[in-house]
Structure 1
Amino acid sequence: MALTIIIVKFVFLVSTVYSKVTLENSGFESQPTNLTTNSTSQFVLLNSKTNVIPGWSFNGTVWYVTAGGNISLPGNGHGLQLGPNGVINQTFKTDGSYYYTLTFTLAPSSMNCASNFTAVNVSGSDESKVFIYKESFGSEMWQTYAYSMSREIQRGIMGIQFQSVAGSNDCWPIIDTLLVNGIGSPRLYGDNGFMNSGFEVGPAFLDNSSQGILLDDDTNEEAFKVVQQWTILGMIKYIDSKHYAVPRGRGAVMLVSGNPSGILYNRRFSRHGKITLDFIMGDANDSCVGDFTVYLQVGNYMMWNFTMRSLGVGSRVRHSVTFKAEFSKTESVPISFSSFNVTRTSDQQVLCGPVIDSTVIRFSSSKILHYEPVIFCFVLATVFLI
């Protein structure tokens, strides 16, 4: 009976975590109206007076792009290249009180531009961020990024905007395949002392991408975290169990090479005593070969390091540390996992690194519930049946 109640509560929580948002023409497969250029051309310059992009408004220099040759896009479909002063935007209705994250694809226009500066400025309701294509972080000539669009808002209208950033050698950005999802206010998902302990609550994954989602520094404390409750240090990759070896659940984070790469959680301790912290460290079964070292730091003075030799075949190990909590009740204690090593996949020399998942923190004398894996499977079965 108790387990049934927990399952019902968990199903309710899962149903309130996400709010699905549908963008019109999110992959630009509905072509602009009144195209007059030869249909075999990969780049068609659009005119804001004669061409209309379904679902989008635009101004400045914008090209309609077809994949092929040197242009690679998800599903070999279509995208938009933003040239000088190129801007595209769309508004949508929000559904309830949520934070919103945007997943999108950024691609260079040629191999030469992959090693040069290709960037786009993305804006939500009240913030903006510049994303730069980074060579060697994936096996495709396009990359997927995620952006935290806003703080919590009420029902209304929200807009997203992409604007070109001047590149070198006319390396203008190509945008494709967008997803927006609303995420509910933070909750303690599971009795383990961390919110979003298994990194299940984060940006939406593209159906036709096996590359994961690149996430970079979001240390602005005022902003909503794109992986809920976790601050990103440097560059990480958000990965899913459909395409990678994920130790538990659907999502995990990969600490891609160096500079450093890490995640951080701020937590208050309401009482003193011995604390046990567990986590799983592994590789993503992506041929990432080399020596992994992960540094776990609690507060300013406690640090441990964990190493493993990765063969890139999906191995994993659970680590545990115990320390004494003597922090002030009002003190926000940073807990971070970071990596500085440089490792690459053996097949395509893509930058990679250790996977972190299933973080658990508790007072040593307390018991922790392990319903999460059972409930997760039950929820998946319920969703598919419905």
Structure 2
Amino acid sequence: MERHARGAALFLLACFASAARAATAIPDGLLPNGNFEEAPARSQLDGTRVTGRYAIPRWEISGFVEYIGSGQKQGDMLLPVPEGAYAVRLGKEASIQQRIALTRGAHYSVTFSAARTCAQAEQLNVTVAPESDILPIQTVYTSSGWDSYSWAFKARRSAVTLIVHNPGVADDAACGPLLDAFAIKTLQPPQRTKSNMLKNGDFEEGPYTFLDTAWGVLVPPLDEDDYSPLSPWMVLSSTKSVKYLDAAHHAVPRGARAVELVSGVESALVQDVVTVPGRPYRLEFSAGDAGDGCAGSLAVQAYAARGSVKVAYQSQGKGGHTRGALEFTAIANRTRVVFVSTAYNVKADGTLCGPVVDDVSLVCTREPAARRLLL
């Protein structure tokens, strides 16, 4: 009896400990001082340079890091801040990091804003050990110069360290990108449905989007082994991204989210799906515009197995879409579904834009013989 009581007590203690660990996991939204509005003490600043390793509340820095106020100038260039009044700038080989409590084994997406300041080929190395990726930020997709980027990872421990590092491409030690508005979101692994062989075909599961920013979130190219913020969709490219849109600020064909192919033929949105060689399939999707002023001839090219289809859409830049379909026969046990914009498009302000893809579905159009006999 005593042994059973001791076992029950240990079980309850384990449950309470588990609940306590879950309670400490950070909620979706801004990281603690993720917008850098909690400022360093004046004694920890030399002009704009932050001199203390722990001077910025909730963050740890290394190297040449500056604390930048909205409207500050770099030469003749005005440095805007996308969220609040302050941001940070990482000089060459500088980094900023924060320790975060998470749920071990869960997937997360980090969203943050970045702006290039003085180097054409600026990059950021984002790490949550053991995962790490270089995000290219040389292409600017907004007229303000600020873009929001996303990056996803699996939490290997209940506490991890998010590190953002500027590997440096300029000789000037102070030269580097501006950073602001760090947020996090727990990603729910998408599931297939009876009516769709593709997962997350409506793109409803994706990175955190800021309610007060209207420029969407970029999903950058990653290695195929990495976990995507749009999982299981991947972006294949050398340096270009696709843009994740919300219905609060854009025209979305269905639901609350969609993807804009903003990089022309330089990036592809892809997903691999299990198929049976020799069986016929039908791929359907919506193609249109985001209502963001991207006017003109927009077109999406879709590929699967040996089949392809081009769906054209004449945009007025005010929203709208059309449906496209591709019928093909599988030639392998896995088929890669690919979407790409067929041309480069720009808005009146000179920023890149492109066709919107949404509501993607894939079905087998012929049932297996054994199933037909059972019916």
Task: Give the TM-score taking structure 2 as reference length.
Answer: 0.82
Q: Could you give the per-residue CA deviations for residues 346-370 of structure 1, whole angstroms, max 9, x where no partner exists?
A: 3x1211000000001112368xxxx
The Cα of 1:310 is off from its aligned counterpart by 1.5
The Cα of 1:167 is off from its aligned counterpart by 3.5
Instruction: Classify 1:45/1:136 alpha carbon distance in 2 versus 1 (closer, same or farther; 3 Å).
Output: closer
Q: Could you give the per-residue CA deviations for residues 187-224 of structure 1, whole angstroms, max 9, x where no partner exists?
A: 22573111101111111012221111122222x23211
Which residue pairs with 1:375 in the alignment?
none
Which residue pairs with 1:319 in the alignment?
324
Which residue pairs with 2:162 in the alignment?
160
SS at match of 2:264: coil
Instruction: Classify 1:288/1:169 alpha carbon distance in 2 versus 1 (closer, same or farther; 3 Å).
Output: farther
Find 2:130's aligned residue among 116, 126, 132: 126
Higher Rg of the two aligned structures: 2
Distance 2:139 2:171 in 1: 16
What are structure 2's unaligned runs of at least 5 residues? 1-25, 73-77, 368-375
Task: Give the TM-score taking structure 1 as reference length.
Answer: 0.79
What are structure 1's unaligned runs of at least 5 residues? 1-17, 367-386
Amino acid at match of 1:225: S
Q: Is the 8 A contact 1:136 1:349 kept in 2?
A: no
The Cα of 1:138 is off from its aligned counterpart by 0.9
Instruction: Classify 1:37/1:86 alpha carbon distance in 2 versus 1 (closer, same or farther; 3 Å).
Output: closer
Please list, as runs of the form range in 1=range in 2, the aligned pairs for 1:274-285 lying within 5 A after superposition.
274-285=280-291
Q: Could you give the per-residue CA deviations for residues 123-174 of structure 1, whole angstroms, max 9, x where no partner exists?
A: 11212222333344112121111112x2353x51111011123243643111
Bigger drift between 241-250 and 74-83 goes to 74-83
Q: Is the 8 A contact 1:68 1:76 kept in 2?
A: no
Find 2:302's aligned residue among 296, 316, 319: 296
Which residue pairs with 2:275 in the alignment?
269
State whether structure 2 residue 86 is matched by structure 1 residue 85. no
Please list, as runs of the form range in 1=range in 2, the aligned pairs for 1:1-386 lying within 5 A after superposition.
20=28, 23-35=31-43, 44-48=48-52, 52-69=55-72, 70-109=78-117, 113=118, 116-148=120-152, 150-151=153-154, 153=156, 156-168=158-170, 170=172, 171-188=175-192, 191-218=195-222, 220-234=223-237, 235-270=241-276, 273-299=279-305, 301-325=306-330, 327-328=331-332, 331-346=333-348, 348-364=349-365
SS at match of 1:74: coil
Q: Is the 8 A contact 2:127 2:162 kept in 1?
A: yes
Distance 1:261 1:84 in 2: 28
Instruction: Classify 1:248/1:19 alpha carbon distance in 2 versus 1 (closer, same or farther; 3 Å).
Output: farther
Q: Could you give the per-residue CA deviations for residues 269-324 of structure 1, whole angstroms, max 9, x where no partner exists?
A: 2575432211000000011122122111112x211111122121102001123233
Q: Is the 8 A contact 1:106 1:175 kept in 2?
A: yes
The Cα of 1:184 is off from its aligned counterpart by 2.8
Distance 1:130 1:274 in 2: 39
Which residue pairs with 1:373 in the alignment?
none
Amino acid at match of 2:63: G
SS at match of 1:168: coil
Instruction: Classify 1:307/1:53 alpha carbon distance in 2 versus 1 (closer, same or farther; 3 Å).
Output: same
